[in-house]
Structure 1
Amino acid sequence: MQVRLMFRDKLYTPAENPRFGADDVLTDLQLEDVLLTMAGGDRLVYQVAQDVLTHPLTDHDTITYRQQVLQDCLERPEATAELYGLCTKALKTERSVYIGFVRENPSAILSRARTVLNQLVPHLRTLATFAGQEVSQVRSTGLTSLYSGLVQDLDDQFFEDCQAHLRRLAFSDGVIIGRRLGPGNEGVEDLLHPPEKAPLVERMGLPTRTALTYQIPARDEAGGAELSAIQGRGLNQIANATAQAADFLRYFFEALQREIGFYLGAVRLHRQLTGSGQPTCMPALLDEDDDLVRGSELYDPHLPLVGERSVIRNDVPAGARTGIVITGANSGGKSTLLRAIGSAQLMAQAGMFVPARSWSVRTTSRVFTHFAREEDSGMVGGRFFDELKRLSEIIEHTKPGSWILMNETFAGTNEAEAANLGDDLIGALRDSGVPVVLVTHNFDLAGRLVEADPGLLSLRAERLESGQRTFRLLPADPLPTAFGRDIYQRLAPWPYDPAPAADAR
């Protein structure tokens, strides 16, 4: 009975504390709607999805392992939801058992543990029946191992033995505790004995031989307390063992609920995206010396989730070995593509599908985002100061193989200073093995980067001669304009524009 749906050789354990920059990544990439869709109103699924997305895998085997489990879940969504529901129902039953003050009382510990087991064993039987129905329907190693293990371990004999043990643990005829004589003929080493079967004559109600007994008077509080202490010492080991069995069963259902909950969230997201007419695919994994990303019809998953009907999908061609620089017309879809690349990377390294027709990725140890922020309202520092401060904190946490997604970084200073600083910084990051995906309006900066690095892919937002934006990003060198005049003219007339001269008559 091992849960191994997230990792081949270990249990998934959520991180105790969020990683540095995780909140910024989720906010900048607008992944909140992705998480809410996955959760479907379930807080546990939300928390697991958030943790998994912000802790990307780098091991190709583990990513493939999750992809295979997810493929089974996508093919059998009802079974995935049913399995999650079984776990939820079992744990709800367990939590309904009153805990009380049981930590120091072996009798109370035993009583509660036995009650919990009596509550959970029927759910375990239901799970075993479910596993028997599903084991032949799945192909992934994770689900096949889970179901076959349950079928093998939880047979009819197991449940018969469980019920027999639970009946014995009720001690309906009292407990028999033995002792041996110690120094001074003092009784030591309390030992619980199995209950003896009553003689036939006693069961028939006939008189038997007089036993050596002592009846504690009802008002003898000290004697009653000593008797309870003796019983507690005798029950201590079996109470602890029974409590451990109850805890193990609870931990099993909790682990299974967490792990299948992640896949249930992915199934919900997949249903929502494909239901809106968008493609998805399982990404291919590239070697370390290959492109960062490449593929076709990539889109930002946030857009269809918020009801956007005209979702533009973009291709990213081969050639992005060291980074990507995205330039072009204002309001041309640059930031949307940046968010799409970041979202796809996190989803791919979580072992999920990605929002694209086809997609290939090189794995990264961390993804950081550095997007434009509002100016500090506390007036501690200006916008440029804040940009540099956040960028410095990010760089302190990077290591070779990390990615940084930059959106209009260095926009808080003039173009010349931004170009000089950006060229030096991004070049140093590139030399340190930290790829950058940059969106910028700074032609000088973009031009320097493209000219200096043949491994950098340059994409430019398409603009028609009419000034219309297609929101498509195509391979092209940067242009020395962002076509801001188009936006100015689209919003015209302005109240302070000079009125056209009257015709001379």
Structure 2
Amino acid sequence: MTFESVLFVNGRSSADIDCVAQPDVFGDLNLDQIIDSVVRGRDEYILRPYFYTPLTETQTIEYRHAVMRDLERSEVLNPICQFAEQMRAMRAELAASQSMRYLWQKHAYFLDAVEKYCAASLEFARALEKGAPHSTGIAAFLDYLKTYVQGRAFEELKSEETRIRAELGKVRYSILIKGSSVTVGKYAGETDYSEEVQKIFAKFRQGAVKSHSMEIRDYPEMNHVEANVLNFVVKLHPEVFEPLDTYCSTHADFLDSVIARFDREIQFYIAFLEHLSRIRSVGLSFCYPVVSVESKAVRSVDGFDLALAEKLRLDNQPIVCNDFYLEGDERIVVVTGPNQGGKTTFARTFGQLHYLASIGCPVPGREARLYLSDRIFTHFERQEDMENLRGKLHDDLYRIHNILERATTESIIIMNEIFSSTSLMDALYLSQKIMGRIMDLDALCVYVTFIEELSTLGKQTISMSSEVKQDAVASRTFKVIRRLADGRSYALSLARQYGLTYEQLRERIGS
């Protein structure tokens, strides 16, 4: 079975992925905060571009789901994590080889890197086969790995390294130090006096005594004296060191590109699953969504803002989950309610769920059916930028125009409290025009607004409203529920807060 990538069914080029920039919507949806938390501590793998690349077909999403499910089994995950540790150790040896000043020390570190690589590959093939992966991605890689370690090229790489190391272990030489003169010669059976010296000084030992020895730091880099001694040894044993030099040149690119790519790509999954486990520890759920390119009937049960969940987890605060669904001709969720009631968080949740689903990841919630869009567009309120010479209203219209020019029937559009700088009548007029364009596109949309009339604009719109408690201070519940927007529940809460309900006024007048 052929294998190229554990992330892409079509084996998309890594070079193409690495050029991808962060999508514009990341800031509005707080996806940048999520990815920061996910990839923290894994800088060496350069994982961000994978999270910046949404998929365009459900086949690859299902491919990734299967790999994720495989990695939730310890018998598959543990060998992969062990291999990753060994590969990190191997890369440390390679980095040392490149940083050393003297040629033969470079070769020594290179030989150690090859030894670690060969041992890790053989051990990984045995352990992963025992784990019996179920997913197409990891099973295909296992087939590739088994074929690779049984191949002639790998066997030659390993056997030649073993032979050269054995020959190096046989090298013997003598050093004669007289004043500032150092003479290196072939070993001719001279007596090794090191044991004799230790025995002589051992009889003077009288229990524990204070040490007056000076600490000598052991730097990995050889000094010039050690390097010159080694150069003399090389001249004395060319039959050993010349093959080493040839071996290092011949196998300079010993690391198999497919194995190296797997070692990097698999961290995309592991990093995300580790982040999920931290969120799950506070009782929140994740699920593998059903993703469709055809049906716009979407649904989420107990969904939540993943960026906010991480923040609240660190602060030991609870997170509120919300549900939503669209069915039939419904396309636009109009969200109304009081300020600080969870409307913006709901909009972000909608966007996060669809984006995470588009990169083949589990999403927050117990159940989800989501739409695979061609692109997500967002318009969140921004501070007025004095450099662009546009006023607040002009800037809103300019950004919305750019969105509607590029959006298609397959897009998702999220608008969050626009036109707050103009009058109610103007805001209503402009919003109706914009929503009319979105309806014509038949695009999915979340429209957070203070204008309740928009929720009944047509059969494509549904109303959701943030709920408040009917108590003395109109406490926010941060629940956003599907119901008609009448504005009276919040007004009633405010009236109750200030003693202005009909019953309260009547009681006061009567008294």
TM-score scaled to structure 1, two decimals?
0.71
Among 304, 313, 331, the residue aligned to 2:309: 304
What is the 5 A alignment of 1:337-348? Answer: 337-348=346-357
Moved more, 116-125 or 455-464: 116-125
Quote how far apart the aligned CAs of 1:244 are. 8.6
1:406 aligns with 2:415: yes
Give the structure, 1 or 2, with the largest relative contact order (CA under 8 Å, sep 6 or more). 1
Output the CA distance in 1 between the equivalents of 2:259 and 2:90.
7
The corresponding residue for 1:264 is 270
Distance 1:486 1:155, change over 3 A: same
Output the CA distance in 2 between the equivalents of 1:322 and 1:381.
32
Q: Is the 8 A contact 2:380 2:418 kept in 1?
A: yes
Q: Is the 8 A contact 1:118 1:166 kept in 2?
A: no
Quote how far apart the aligned CAs of 1:169 are. 10
Output the CA distance in 1 between the equivalents of 2:367 and 2:304.
11
Output the CA distance in 1 between the equivalents of 2:119 and 2:441.
55
Quote how far apart the aligned CAs of 1:361 are. 0.5
Q: Is the 8 A contact 1:328 1:482 kept in 2?
A: no
Output the CA distance in 2 between the equivalents of 1:244 and 1:368.
51
Q: Is the 8 A contact 1:37 1:265 kept in 2?
A: no
The corresponding residue for 1:319 is 327
Among 479, 489, 493, the residue aligned to 2:486: 479
Q: Is the 8 A contact 2:5 2:137 kept in 1?
A: yes
Quote how far apart the aligned CAs of 1:371 are. 0.6
1:439 aligns with 2:434: no
The corresponding residue for 1:154 is 149
Secondary structure of the corresponding residue to residue 8 of structure 1: coil
The residue type equivalent to 1:4 in the other structure is S
The residue type equivalent to 1:69 in the other structure is V
Quote how far apart the aligned CAs of 1:70 are. 0.9
What is the 5 A alignment of 1:114-263? Answer: 116=110, 119-120=113-114, 122-137=116-131, 138-155=133-150, 159-163=154-158, 246-247=252-253, 249=255, 251-263=257-269
Output the CA distance in 2 between the equivalents of 1:434 and 1:61.
23
RMSD: 3.6
Output the CA distance in 1 between the equivalents of 2:407 and 2:110.
47
Quote how far apart the aligned CAs of 1:256 are. 2.2
Secondary structure of the corresponding residue to residue 359 of structure 1: strand
Task: List runs of 5+ in structure 1 lacking aligned partners.
Answer: 102-107, 173-237, 493-505
Quote how far apart the aligned CAs of 1:288 are. 1.3
Quote how far apart the aligned CAs of 1:26 are. 1.8
Distance 1:112 1:422, change over 3 A: farther
Secondary structure of the corresponding residue to residue 391 of structure 1: helix
Secondary structure of the corresponding residue to residue 447 of structure 2: strand
Q: Is the 8 A contact 2:96 2:109 kept in 1?
A: no
Output the CA distance in 2 between the equivalents of 1:340 and 1:464.
22
The corresponding residue for 1:204 is none
Q: Give per-residue Cα distances to partners, 1:36-74, cap 9 Å, x unaligned.
A: 3312322245x42x3333321121110000011011112
Secondary structure of the corresponding residue to residue 264 of structure 1: helix
The residue type equivalent to 2:477 in the other structure is T
The corresponding residue for 2:7 is 6
1:366 aligns with 2:375: yes
Distance 1:386 1:282, change over 3 A: same
Quote how far apart the aligned CAs of 1:25 are. 1.8
Distance 1:252 1:418, change over 3 A: same
The corresponding residue for 2:56 is 58
Output the CA distance in 1 between the equivalents of 2:426 and 2:490.
22
Output the CA distance in 2 between the equivalents of 1:123 and 1:469.
57
Secondary structure of the corresponding residue to residue 277 of structure 1: coil
The residue type equivalent to 1:282 in the other structure is Y
Q: Give per-residue Cα distances to partners, 1:80-126, cap 9 Å, x unaligned.
A: 4333323333333222222799xxxxxx9xx9899757623531331
Quote how far apart the aligned CAs of 1:259 are. 0.4
The residue type equivalent to 2:425 in the other structure is A
Output the CA distance in 2 between the equivalents of 1:380 and 1:333.
32
The residue type equivalent to 2:5 in the other structure is R
Q: Is the 8 A contact 1:295 1:358 kept in 2?
A: yes
Q: Give per-residue Cα distances to partners, 1:284-314, cap 9 Å, x unaligned.
A: 12351341x2021111112221135221111
Secondary structure of the corresponding residue to residue 384 of structure 2: coil
Q: Is the 8 A contact 2:61 2:360 kept in 1?
A: yes
Output the CA distance in 2 between the equivalents of 1:246 and 1:141.
32
1:295 aligns with 2:300: yes
Quote how far apart the aligned CAs of 1:396 are. 4.1
TM-score scaled to structure 2, two decimals?
0.70
Q: Is the 8 A contact 2:5 2:261 kept in 1?
A: no
The residue type equivalent to 1:306 in the other structure is K
Output the CA distance in 1 between the equivalents of 2:113 and 2:10.
30
The corresponding residue for 1:389 is 398
Output the CA distance in 2 between the equivalents of 1:383 and 1:290.
33
Output the CA distance in 1 between the equivalents of 2:42 and 2:491.
44
Distance 1:41 1:476, change over 3 A: same
What is the 5 A alignment of 1:37-76? Answer: 37-44=37-44, 47-48=46-47, 50-76=48-74
Q: Is the 8 A contact 1:329 1:481 kept in 2?
A: no
Secondary structure of the corresponding residue to residue 15 of structure 1: helix
The residue type equivalent to 1:92 in the other structure is A
Distance 1:361 1:12, change over 3 A: farther
Q: Is the 8 A contact 1:37 1:268 kept in 2?
A: no
Quote how far apart the aligned CAs of 1:376 are. 1.9
Task: List runs of 5+ in structure 2 lacking aligned partners.
Answer: 168-244, 499-511
Secondary structure of the corresponding residue to residue 326 of structure 1: strand
Distance 1:3 1:388, change over 3 A: same
Distance 1:312 1:69, change over 3 A: same
Output the CA distance in 2 between the equivalents of 1:416 and 1:480.
17
Q: Is the 8 A contact 2:358 2:372 kept in 1?
A: yes
Quote how far apart the aligned CAs of 1:141 are. 0.9
Output the CA distance in 1 between the equivalents of 2:249 and 2:418.
56
Moved more, 9-18 or 278-287: 9-18
Output the CA distance in 2 between the equivalents of 1:94 and 1:489.
71
Output the CA distance in 1 between the equivalents of 2:88 and 2:26.
27
Distance 1:86 1:406, change over 3 A: farther
Secondary structure of the corresponding residue to residue 339 of structure 1: helix
The residue type equivalent to 2:143 in the other structure is S
Q: Is the 8 A contact 2:97 2:108 kept in 1?
A: no
Output the CA distance in 2 between the equivalents of 1:68 and 1:257.
18
Moved more, 405-414 or 70-79: 70-79
Aligned positions, number = 411
Output the CA distance in 2 between the equivalents of 1:378 and 1:134.
57
